[in-house]
Amino acid sequence: MDITVNILLTIATAATPLLIAAIGELVVERSGVLNLGVEGMMIMGAVAGFGVAFLTGSPWLGLLASVVAGAMFSLLFAVMTLSLATNQVATGLSLTLLGLGLSGMLGTSFVGQPGGRLPYLYIPGLSDIPVVGKLLFGQDPVFYLSIALVIAVSWFLFRTRTGLTLRSIGDNHASAHALGIPVIRYRYLAVMFGGACAGLAGGHLSLVYTPQWVENMAAGRGWIALALVVFASWRPLRVLAGAYIFGAVWIGQLHLQASGGISVPTQLLSALPYLATVVVLVLISRNKRLTLTNTPAALGQSFVPDR
């Protein structure tokens, strides 16, 4: 029983950074901006989070630092693509490359240092309930934040006026401009929200998942988050499902590999989470019409208002 609970707990821990980064990128893409720099923003969040926690001794300050670092790093992208109308794909890619290099340089003195870990939240009474108690009420704080984020983003996009405006910009920025909607301002805020989320996801990696600093520790999670957004056809709840399927198969195959009981090539097992996520999300996105009406039509296009 305890083993099952522990496995389920690790699944949540593995899924959380993907979920947070993906939900942030979902908001960015809904506004019509494609930021391929998620990996870079994530790693900047991770190094900033670890560094501040290490230097101040407070993992909470570390977490805050990772959010700020992600948002600031995305601001660079926003200035380039929104104010200077550079190509979004190229700028996003260079943001990732810059983030990987910069974080490696900033983090040299942190390698091998003991890190600070965010305390798990135990709600007295509730978390003592067998099985469910630990799963629902004994997780790390970022887990709760990630679930709250999914609900909040879903409500924001489909129930609020501002969310409607954001979606309209992603559908057709020229029309939005003609209606007098401040397209660039909305996009700046969306990009920075996405950056803050990616930073937070990075902070989760270096403060909760593996509380230490290792160069390139995001290990491609930013790219998985990006793919999740597309495969989830830009719907928050599907992103949640995708992140958890990925986490579950990921942890599952690790246990399989460790047990050594099955003679399947490890490469195949390592590929399994990616395969499973793609298959499941493709299956739930079979409704072509729904997918196409949710796809931001202006995605990746630069917007320069004619004055």
Question: Per residue in 141-167, is it b (16+ CB within 10 Å) or e — as a string?
Answer: bbbebbeebbeebbebbeeeeebebbb
Whole-angstrom Cα distance, residue 72 to residue 62?
Answer: 15
210 sits near other proteins (criterion: CB under 8 A): no
Q: Shortest approach of other proteins to residue 300 CB, angstroms?
A: 16
Q: Shortest approach of other proteins to residue 200 CB, angstroms?
A: 29
Q: Of 113 and 175, which has the nearer Cβ to other proteins?
A: 175
Helices (H), the chain: 2-30, 38-56, 59-78, 88-106, 132-137, 141-159, 161-171, 173-178, 183-204, 221-231, 236-259, 266-284, 288-294
* Spatial CB neighbours of 154, under 8 Å, sequence gap ≥ 6: 236, 237
180 sits near other proteins (criterion: CB under 8 A): yes
Q: Of 117 and 177, which has the nearer Cβ to other proteins?
A: 177
Q: Which of 3, 263, 283, 288 binds other proteins (CB under 8 A)?
A: 288
CB 270 within 8 A of CB 249: no
Q: How far is CA 153 from the centre of its chain?
A: 13
Token pair for residue 6?
């522990």
Size of the site for other proteins (CB under 8 A): 24
Q: Shortest approach of other proteins to residue 190 CB, angstroms?
A: 17
Q: Of 171 and 215, which has the nearer Cβ to other proteins?
A: 171
307 sits near other proteins (criterion: CB under 8 A): yes
CB 70 within 8 A of CB 198: yes
Q: Which of 1, 2, 263, 306 binds other proteins (CB under 8 A)?
A: 306
Q: Of 7 and 181, which has the nearer Cβ to other proteins?
A: 181
Mask for 140-179, x = binds other proteins (CB under 8 A): ---------------------x--xx-xx--xx-xxxxxx
Residues at the interface with other proteins (CB under 8 A) = 161, 164-165, 167-168, 171-172, 174-181, 288-289, 292-295, 297, 306-307
